[in-house]
Structure 1
Amino acid sequence: MTIDMRGIARQIVQEYDLPLAGCHGIAHWARVYDNGQRLAEASGADKDVVALFALFHDSKRKNESFDPNHGKRGAEFAKQLRGELFELSNAQFALLVEACCGHTKCRHHENITIGTCWDSDRLDLGRVGMRPHPYYLNTDEAKREETINWADGRASMEVVPDWIAERWGIETTAFAWE
Structure 2
Amino acid sequence: MLGIVSKDLVRAIRDQFQINWQGIHGLSHLARVWENGIHLAEATGANKKVVQLFAVFHDSRRLNENIDPEHGPRGALLAESWRGKYYDLSDEEFDLLFTACSLHTKAKTHVDRTIQTCFDADRLDLGRIGKIPDPKFLCTEAAKDLKTIEWATQRSISGHIPGNLLGLALQ
1:31 is aligned to: 32
Deviation at 1:171, TM superposition (A): 4.0
Q: Which amino acid aligns with 2:66?
A: S
TM-score relative to the length of structure 2: 0.94
- Rate the CA distance shift 1:170–1:151 in 2: closer, same or farther, 3 A: closer
Name the CA shift for 1:168/1:122 in 2 (closer, same or farther; >3 Å): closer
Partner of 1:69: 70
Query: What is the aligned partner in structure 1 of residue 136 from structure 2?
Result: 135
Letter in 1 for 2:31: A
Report the secondary structure of 1:30's partner residue. helix
* CA distance, structure 1, for counterparts of residue 96 and residue 158 of structure 2: 31
SS of aligned partner of 1:172:
coil
Letter in 2 for 1:15: Q
Aligned residue runs from structure 1 range 1-178, under 5 A? 3-161=4-162, 163-164=163-164, 167-168=165-166, 171-173=169-171
State the partner residue of 1:176. none
TM-score, structure 1 length as denominator? 0.91
| Mapped contact 1:36–1:50 kept (Cα < 8 A) | yes
Asked whether the 8 Å contact 2:28–2:166 carries over to 1, the reply is no
Stretches of structure 2 lacking an aligned partner (at least 5 in a row): none
How far apart, CA to CA, are the structure 2 residues paired with 1:42 and 1:122? 17
Q: CA deviation at 1:4?
A: 4.1
Moved more, 85-94 or 112-121: 85-94
- Mapped partners of 2:121, 2:29: distance in 1: 10
Cα distance change, pair 4–136 in 1 and its aligned pair in 2 (3 A): closer
Structure 1 residue 170: Cα displacement: 5.7
Indicate if the aligned counterparts of 1:10 and 1:169 stay in contact, CA closer than 8 A.
no
Asked whether the 8 Å contact 1:6–1:169 carries over to 2, the reply is no
Measured after TM superposition, the shift of residue 169 of structure 1 is 8.7
* Percent identical: 46
Distance 2:69 2:168 in 1: 28
- Following superposition, the deviation at residue 38 of structure 1 comes to 0.4
Amino acid at match of 1:83: G
User: For the Cα contact (< 8 Å) 1:56–1:75, is it kept in 2?
Assistant: yes
Partners of 1:9 and 1:54 in 2: CA distance:
11
Q: Distance in 2 between matches of 1:132 and 1:108?
A: 15
CA RMSD of aligned residues (A): 1.4
**1-side partners of 2:155 and 2:105: how far apart?**
21
2: CA distance between counterparts of 1:66 and 1:123? 19
Q: CA deviation at 1:72?
A: 0.5
Q: Look up the equivalent residue of 2:37 and give its one-letter code.
A: G
Give the 3 Å change call, closer, same or farther, for CA 170–14 of structure 1 in structure 2: farther
Aligned-partner residue type, residue 138 of structure 1: C
